[in-house]
Amino acid sequence: MPLVTSDQMQHTISKEVVFKGIGLHTGNKCLARFKPAPAGAGISFVRIDLPDKPVLPAHFSGVSSVIRGTTLNKNDVKVHTVEHMLSALQGLNIDNVVIEMDANEPPVADGSARPFVELLQQAGRTAQDRPRQYLTTDQPIVYTAGETTLRLDPAEVLTVDCTVQFKHPLIGEQKLSVVVTPESFLRDIAPARTFCFDYEVEALQRQGLARGGSLDNAVVVGMNKIHNKEKKLRFPDEFVRHKIMDLLGDIYLIGFPIRAKITALRCGHGHNVNFVKLIAERLLHPAPSASN
């Protein structure tokens, strides 16, 4: 069976916590309130700024856009750029949370998942009365598109092996393999910031993107220098670490934690979500709702 019931229990957060800031792409100010949720509820976003406070489950079936971020849509109500928050929740093994928002995009914080991890650690974790169900596989599942490959293989713990390749002197090829635990996520993955190239900024803004982007919340890469205020990276291979962070957030849209090895070459949001759909088609057909 692809779903294995473990001896570990599901977890939610112990108390409400709030994060304020601006959205990376919309530039809208947003207050995001993380609240405990019942066992089996999964992760959901609630637009409290709209009539009837519509709920958007964090599930791949609701993804409507993957341009520079992962956007959820339900009945034309959207929440943009959900992957950093979802990555923090996945990294900390938190199953059930409601995220209330008074705008259409979560705060970008510093462009990484670390501020959300630290906030959720302040909230604490509470074990619930239902065991975790993990998604597993007994055979490889391979997604390919152009130069991109994503592969799921049997493993006892969640492991991500990622390679990025950019024809750029400051990036080139970077590889990293990590066994994902709360400790390794906070240390090795969560601090890695989103990035773009300086020549992309104007084009992104013409597309209505990166309106909230700044040197405070993104690594902007020039031909021979890093433009952000520190003028340096948090890791020599910060770019591949951020790709892993994004991948973990997108993968959590399958609605279950995964016990498997993920190997990723040249991944991105569109490929990540298509990979999730392929996994669901192979292992969860027909696809379940967005509850654990």
Q: What residues contact 120, with CB distance under 8 A and at least 6 apart?
A: 13, 17, 34, 88, 89, 92, 94
Q: Which helix (H) or strand (E) holds 202?
A: helix 201-206
Q: Is 238 helix (H, G, I), strand (E, B) or coil?
A: helix
**pLDDT given for residue 278 in this prediction:** 97
Kindly report which listed range (90-94, 221-225, 242-246) carries the lowest average pLDDT score: 221-225
User: What does each C-alpha distance from 166 to 149, 170, 175 come to in angstroms?
Assistant: 15, 9, 12
What would the mean pLDDT of 207-227 be, rounded to a whole number?
83
Burial 7-46 (b: 16+ CB within 10 A, else e): eeebbbbeeebebebbbbbbbbebbbbbbbbebebbbbbb
Position 31, amino acid: L
**pLDDT given for residue 224 in this prediction:** 84
Better-predicted residue by pLDDT, 75 or 286: 75
Question: In this prediction, what percent of the chain has a pLDDT beyond 90?
Answer: 79
Q: What residues contact 56, with CB distance under 8 A and at least 6 apart?
A: 44, 45, 46, 47, 62, 72, 73, 74, 77, 78, 79
Record the tokens describing residue 270, joined without a space. 């569109």
Nearest-CA neighbor of 65 among 75, 55, 73?
73
pLDDT category of residue 204 using cuts at 50, 70 and 90? confident
Position 266, amino acid: R
Q: Is 108 helix (H, G, I), strand (E, B) or coil?
A: coil
Tabulate helix, strand, coil % of the chain (nearest 5). Answer: 25, 35, 40
**pLDDT given for residue 1 in this prediction:** 54
Is residue 199 pLDDT above 50, yes or no?
yes
Record the tokens describing residue 20, joined without a space. 């304020």
Domains detected in the chain: 9-133 (3.30.230.20)
The position carrying tokens 């957030």 is 249
Cross-strand partners of 55: 46
User: What does each C-alpha distance from 143 to 114, 157, 173, 275 come to in angstroms?
Assistant: 29, 21, 21, 6
**pLDDT given for residue 86 in this prediction:** 98
pLDDT digits (tens, 9 = 90+) for 92-128: 999 999 999 999 999 999 999 999 999 999 999 999 9
**pLDDT given for residue 198 in this prediction:** 84
Is residue 287 pLDDT above 60, yes or no?
no
Q: Kindly list the catalytic residues.
A: 269
Q: What residues contact 188, with CB distance under 8 A and at least 6 apart?
A: 176, 178, 241
Nearest-CA neighbor of 31 among 43, 47, 55, 15?
47
The position carrying tokens 């409290």 is 48
pLDDT category of residue 197 using cuts at 50, 70 and 90? confident
Q: Would you list the DSSP string of 60-94?
A: GGGEEE-SSS-EEEETTEEE---HHHHHHHHHTT-
**Average pLDDT taken over every residue of the chain:** 93
Question: In this prediction, what percent of the chain has a pLDDT beyond 70?
Answer: 97
